[in-house]
Amino acid sequence: MNNIFKMFFEEEIPKYIQISNHIKKLIDNKKINDGEKLPTIRELSKILEVNNVTIVNAYKKLKSDGYAFQKVGSGTYAKRKDLISVFNREYSKTLKSILTEDLDKIIDFTGETNTEMYFPIKEFKNVINKVLDRDGANALIMKEPFGYEELRRTINKELWGGKLDLDNIIIVSGAQQGIDIAVKAIVNINDNVVVEKPTYGGAISVFKWRRANIFELEIKEDGIDLEEFEEILKKNKISCFYTMSYFHNPTGVSYSYEKKLKLLALARKYDFYIIEDDYLSELIYDDGIIHEPLKELDKYERVIYVKSFSKVFLPGIRLGYMIIPNSFIESMQNSKINTDFATSSLMQRALELYIKEGFWKEHIQYQCKEYKTKYELMKNLIEEKLFDKVTYLDPKGGLYFYIKLKNKEVKSKELFYKLKKKNVYITPGIIFFRDSKNGDYFFRISFSQVNKEKIIKGINLIKEELI
């Protein structure tokens, strides 16, 4: 195998880039198999007669370009990029096509947001009219780069009990922008970051754009294994850890109270920050789960909290907020200004009044009641119809179930194509992993965009394909 790595160097191009490009070609041409272990840094430096630092930089570039992944304590492994990216593009195209189809004829188990039937259009329309009557043109033209001050004040009072300073709250255009702002402020090129495995692809994209080194930790029933995490922390300087502490996407896992406290203690001990993406924490269906985000427990100023209103309110308003530690106020405010100067003034004012007048809490209570009914129906059907074909972890909240196939002869991507022919759409696990092999036997089904009749029909069709 050593012979395939032999190459001639060009003077004009840095050696580490030439080595990286050469290995990419070997992976693309299948001379190096997907998942095959690459030579150690010392081995390859001897083969190519270059120093160790050159190979380190070459492997870092391979990882940042998506052609390699690292296993802690094991080494660097090849990854054929097209295995994931081609299907991801196809899946994305499929989701877009759903929007143009007759929705009555399809069963969409891919949804991640509130369905229109649960949106309180009458109340929100009245709130907008009140804002326009009260503020006139200012509701449309006023720009406040860090967010409408009354909205920040209302978020602080109504959602956080007045514990925060307004300077610590920034209004953003959804969670993705919040993650981007946070990462720009705390992660530099070649910094080390830790994420859950699997995780939200949008966060991975931001870390890759910053050319960070990404460590993955498999998520367990109550969060990542903190002993494994600490082993990474002992050997590597970590800048941040990205997490969804409630109803993790896609697994539905919520962190235990004890694990949250230990995680915060580790952040203080090893001097890293936690980006907490509060995804769906309002949608709790079990009295045993207490709503207490990491930020609520954060005594050490280690948590950057990101919250979107899109998932549980209205996707179209594109609003969310961040709570940032004092040490990052200036850098994240600057990052927000550089990203966009202001978020929609009218929507901010309408949301502020909607929360202040108590509609927000009423809306969440209503949604919890409605979604709990569908959650219980889907859970019962999975246990009744699919019990011998799959396993799953009961999320006890959120909008979806994460399913593992028992039969290793069936892969979730194949199941996706079979169900698509029957107008049933699921989300294969490959979407949430950097390495496609890890997602082969998982898929996610959401109940947010389907009624009870479609849930019943959809689960029965899944059963037919798994027989």
List the domain boundaries for the chain: 2-80, 83-110+362-466, 133-360
Which single residue is written with the structure tokens 């090893």? Answer: 270
Q: What is the DSSP string of 42-54?
A: HHHHHHHT--HHH
* Architecture of the 133-360 domain: 3-Layer(aba) Sandwich (3.40)
Say which range, 120-129, 164-173, 193-202, has the weakest mean pLDDT.
120-129
Give the count of beta carbons closer than 10 Å to the beta carbon of residue 103. Answer: 11
pLDDT in tens, 440-452: 899 999 999 899 9
Q: State the average pLDDT over residues 346-374.
A: 92
Tell me the CA distances in angstroms from 248 to 219, 335, 396, 435, one per residue in order: 9, 27, 12, 19
Beta-strand runs (E) in 165-246: 169-172, 192-197, 213-220, 223-224, 238-243
**Domain 2-80: which CATH class?**
mainly alpha
> Of all residues in the chain, what percent carry a pLDDT higher than 90?
55
> In this structure, are residues 403 and 444 in contact, taking their beta carbons and an 8 Å threshold?
yes
Alpha carbon dihedral 276, 279, 281, 282, in 10-degree steps, equals 140
Q: What is the pTM of this model?
A: 0.80
pLDDT in tens, 78-87: 887 655 566 7
* Architecture of the 83-110+362-466 domain: Alpha-Beta Complex (3.90)
Band of residue 65 on the pLDDT scale cut at 50, 70, 90: confident
Token pair recorded at residue 173: 């255009």
pLDDT in tens, 132-181: 999 888 888 777 889 999 999 999 999 999 999 999 999 998 899 999 99
Which of 111 and 312 is assigned the larger pLDDT?
Answer: 111
- Residue 383 above 90 pLDDT? yes
